[in-house]
Copies of this chain bind each other. A is one copy, B any other.
Amino acid sequence: MVCNVRSRDGLCGALFRDVGRLTANLHSTFASLPQSNKFARRRRTIYRAGEPSNTVAIIHDGWASAYIQLPKGNRQILSFLLPGDITSAAAVFEDRSEVTIEAVTDVEYCVIDKHQLSEVLQAEPEVFNTFSKLWARRKNEIENLAADLGHRTAEERVARLILALYGRHAERDMIREGWFSFPLRLQHIADATGQTVVHVSRVLSSMRRQGVIELEERSLAVRDLAELRNIGGN
């Protein structure tokens, strides 16, 4: 029902979406960095918060989540990582992170050494520029997430999450007849939008009943984009 999310070949450089816009020359410089391919089963942890690590990962196939673990046992998902996404652009300058990365589906990814990446950054202003834009974008996303979590209703937050994922798939031309891959469990949506699984179920049911979305077999179709945006509150 949905086109495969997987990308073309096994090279990190080719898959790292934000580097894809570099000139061919720099692109190959980047792609030539030593890298190793890895695999993580669904629900497995790719990076655990607090552990020292000298690599960053780039998702090759599948979805992952980046979250903060809260003391009570619940967690706040900060972002979903899709193929082509880097775990954290800022991680290049940290030796450890407070954010855990976990596979949502089975995930193929590759890891690059932070120091080598850092050297490319310093040597190549064009790459550096690409990265700094990435930081800025990610920063904006998190700031907007904070604003949403603080001030929007449960229904608005779910609608906006769907819209954001819809947008990311549309950008990548990965929507087919309205459908796109949506492997999230209710628990993921609950953790991302700061509510309970029970309530997420009710909100989604309501949206389906209104004919705004369809959701089945890990795929989602937006049937009434205008109304979904309306529910999202701007």
Contact = CB atoms under 8 A, between A and B. Distances in A.
A145 B145 CA distance: 10
Nearest to A76: B147
Contacts of A70: 147, 151-152
A87 interface: no
A93 B136 contact: yes
A40 to B, nearest CB: 22
A120 interface: no
**Which of A133, A149, A150, A151 is the most central at the interface, judged by chain B CB atoms within 10 Å of its CB?**
A150
Interface in A60-88: 68, 70-72, 74-76, 78
Contacts of A133: 93
Interface in A104-136: 129, 132-133, 135-136
A99 interface: yes
Nearest to A138: B139
A142 interface: yes
Contact of A68 (B72, B78, B129, B144): B144
Contact of A151 (B72, B99, B151, B152): B72
Contact of A90 (B94, B139, B193): B139
A143 interface: yes
A194 to B, nearest CB: 3
B146 A74 contact: no
Nearest to A94: B136
A131 to B, nearest CB: 9
A51 interface: no
A4 interface: no
A139 B139 contact: yes
A233 interface: yes
